[in-house]
Amino acid sequence: MELPQILSGIRNGNLWMGSLDIFLVAFLIHRLLLLARGTRAVQILGGLATLFLALIVSRRLHLDTLHWLLQQILPLGPVAIVILLYPELRHALEEFGPRFWTRSLNIVSKVDTTEMVTEVVRAIEKLSRDKVGALVVFERQFRLDQTIESGTLLNAQVTSSLLLTLFHKGTSLHDGAVIIRKGTIAAAGCLLPLTDRPKVDAEVHTRHKAALGMSENSDAVVLVVSEETGTISLAVNGKLLRGFRSENLRERLNQLLHVTHSDLENVNTGGETSDQRA
């Protein structure tokens, strides 16, 4: 392209629009790669890439039978992607919805959670000492209506005594999760989605997989107590943080529940470790 044409393009705005177009595409690819990282989507896409490579190689080497077979399989690729990556695609669409804009614009939602967090921590301390398993989900901007409907509606004030009663092994609701919405216990005995991440540590049991699954499918903060060890953990943004004590747990919960989205990318602090072990 000659200089007069470049200058003409600048005057017409074509160059600027082209640059904006490239930037938006690069940003979109970057966000999709971040969403796919650590999920089975990478493995599935790698398998599809291998099939495309095999198709090219078989044609170059005149492997006619193999080439014909791959030609029959590859047209099914788009359908297979939708079926196999349905959870990841849903998560990606959710990320580019209201959650994306509130996080990008750094919209902060402040709520006075001090008294509620104090009651929760007091109950969690006793549950941890007694090695009683527990799951407490704190709803933030992503509404958990379907999860709440899977349990027993309560709409009760958050107190340590009520939480201890709900997670007592003699009650019918102790195996499910408690959902806290706007400082009240919305429901108990709720069912949470399990993570289907392929590389979850073998020592992570069902309760912790449920905590991870909920944090992957929403912006909720999930508090979990291990029934085997009494370890207190937090699941946030698809990461499991363990080894909390009462003081740093109270501080971390207040931070996460006061600032809804601005700290989501920096949640790997607060516990003794940030791996996926329970």
Residue 92 confidence (pLDDT): 61
Secondary-structure breakdown of the chain: helix, strand, coil percentages, each rounded to the nearest 5:
55, 15, 35
User: Is residue 33 in some structural domain?
Assistant: yes
Average pLDDT for 42-48:
71
Contacts of 168 (CB under 8 A, 6+ apart): 132, 174
Residue 109 confidence (pLDDT): 45
Q: Does residue 40 sit in the same domain as residue 63? A: yes
User: Is residue 109 in some structural domain?
Assistant: no
Q: Does residue 74 sit in the same domain as residue 182? A: no
One DSSP character per residue, 161-188 reads HHHHHHTSTTSTTTTSEEEEETTEEEEE
Residue 155 confidence (pLDDT): 92
Average pLDDT for 108-135:
84
CA 129 vs CA 169, 226, 245, 250, 271: distances in Å: 15, 11, 11, 17, 18
Q: Does residue 220 sit in the same domain as residue 253? A: yes
Q: Does residue 184 sit in the same domain as residue 213? A: yes
pLDDT tens string 235-262: 998 888 888 988 789 989 988 887 433 4
Q: Pick from 104, 130, 146: which residue ends a domain?
A: 104
pLDDT tens string 195-229: 877 666 655 678 888 999 899 888 899 999 999 88
CA 31 vs CA 68, 78, 188, 193, 195: distances in Å: 36, 21, 35, 24, 21
Q: Pick from 104, 123, 152: which residue ends a domain?
A: 104
User: Is residue 122 in some structural domain?
Assistant: yes
Q: Which residue has the higher pLDDT, 76 or 102?
A: 76
- Please state, in angstroms and rounded to a whole number, the distance separating the CA atoms of residues 266 and 65: 51
What pTM did the predictor assign? 0.59
Q: Does residue 21 sit in the same domain as residue 142? A: no
Are 237 and 264 a contacting pair, CB within 8 Å?
Answer: yes
Q: Which residue bears the tokens 């020592």?
A: 203
Q: Does residue 70 sit in the same domain as residue 172? A: no
- What percent of the chain lies above the pLDDT cut of 90? 28
Q: Does residue 82 sit in the same domain as residue 130? A: no
Q: Does residue 97 sit in the same domain as residue 129? A: no
In the predicted model, is pLDDT for residue 193 greater than 80?
yes
Are 70 and 62 a contacting pair, CB within 8 Å?
Answer: no
User: Is residue 277 in some structural domain?
Assistant: no
User: Is residue 275 in some structural domain?
Assistant: no
Q: Which of 29, 249, 39 is closest to 138 using CA atoms?
A: 249
Domain that holds residue 46: 3-104
Q: Pick from 58, 75, 104: which residue ends a domain?
A: 104
Q: Directed axis angle between helix 3-12 and helix 14-36, to 10°? A: 80
Q: Which residue has the higher pLDDT, 20 or 180?
A: 180
CATH number at residue 199: 3.40.1700.10
Average pLDDT for 148-176:
91
* Res. 43 pLDDT band, cuts 50 70 90: low
Residue 260 confidence (pLDDT): 39
* Res. 97 pLDDT band, cuts 50 70 90: low
Residue 268 confidence (pLDDT): 41
Q: Does residue 135 sit in the same domain as residue 239? A: yes
Q: Does residue 136 sit in the same domain as residue 80? A: no
User: Is residue 262 in some structural domain?
Assistant: yes
User: Is residue 243 in some structural domain?
Assistant: yes
CA 63 to chain centre: 44
Q: Which residue has the higher pLDDT, 102 or 73?
A: 73
Count how many domains the chain has.
2
- Please state, in angstroms and rounded to a whole number, the distance separating the CA atoms of residues 129 and 123: 10
Contacts of 148 (CB under 8 A, 6+ apart): 179, 181, 186, 187, 190
User: Is residue 273 in some structural domain?
Assistant: no
In the predicted model, is pLDDT for residue 264 greater than 50?
no
Q: Does residue 189 sit in the same domain as residue 132? A: yes
Q: Does residue 94 sit in the same domain as residue 135? A: no
